[in-house]
Amino acid sequence: MAVAVQIREAKEADCGEIMKMIRELAEFEKLSDQVKISEEVLKTDGFGENPFYHCLVAEIPPEHRDPLGSTLAGYGLYYFTYSTWTGRNVYLEDIYVMPKYQGQGIGSKIIKKVAEAALERGCSQLRLAVLDNNRSAIEFYKARGAKDLTVAEGWHFFHFDNEAVREMVRK
């Protein structure tokens, strides 16, 4: 049965459920060991004086909630970046819909709201990364007009973990 969720800005009180979904997403991606943040860090980083990120949630209407279950069906976590070539960008770090709510257009509603936020802020691009084995997500993004830069332009995305950053500073 399709549920008419409301997409809204996350509140600090949502961080427990968002953290649960972050762990579910990491488990799906077989990368659970890489989740290092806690609910408290999520609260501080998203709802402190200078938030590092923005988050949208898909809220389940009260009449469809499981008495002991979640009040949220999914989330989209994003932040603004800057490109020296194209100017303002938005980066969609995560988009996740709980399995029992997938296939109901919730992911589409979340990404549409992120796109609206990008346009409101004058962004020229919406960027994201997806694991190569997540074919359904790749097709989801392509169906909405995303271009696979790995294929089209040969870009590879890198990151330096905390130890590598510390080593770079020491040298």
Give the sign of the dihedral formed by CA 135, CA 140, CA 141, CA 142.
positive
For residues 125-149, average pLDDT? 94
* Parent domain of 55: 6-128
pLDDT digits (tens, 9 = 90+) for 15-35: 999 999 999 999 999 999 999
Q: Is 146 within the bounds of a domain?
A: no
Domain presence at residue 137: no
Domain count, the chain: 1
List, edge to edge, every strand of the sheet that includes 54-59. 6-9, 54-59, 72-83, 87-97, 125-128
Residue 171 lies in a domain: no
Residue 30 DSSP one-character state: T
Interval 72-82 mean pLDDT: 97
Is the pLDDT reported for residue 1 higher than 70? no
| φ, ψ at 155 (rounded to 5°) | -70, 140
The per-residue pLDDT for 63 is: 84
Residue 149, pLDDT above cutoff 80: yes
pLDDT in tens, 4-16: 899 999 999 999 9
Question: Does 161 reside within a domain?
Answer: no
Q: Is 141 a catalytic residue?
A: yes
**pLDDT over threshold 90, residue 57:** yes
From 91, 96, 101, 141, the catalytic residue? 141
Which CATH number is 97's domain given?
3.40.630.30
The residues with which 28 forms a beta bridge, in sequence order, are none
- The pTM score is 0.92
The 10s digit of each residue's pLDDT in 81-102 is 999 999 999 999 999 999 999 9
The answer to whether residue 113 scores a pLDDT higher than 80 is: yes
> In this structure, is residue 52 part of a structural domain?
yes
HSE (CB half, 13 Å, CA atoms) of 103? 4
The reply to whether 147 falls in a domain is no
Whole-number percent of the chain with pLDDT over 90 = 83
87 within a domain of the structure (yes/no): yes
Report yes or no on 143 lying in a domain: no
- In this predicted structure, the answer to whether residue 51 has a pLDDT above a threshold of 80 is yes
Average pLDDT value over all residues in the chain: 94
Provide the pLDDT for residue 56.
Answer: 98
Please, which pLDDT band fits residue 3 given cuts at 50, 70 and 90? confident
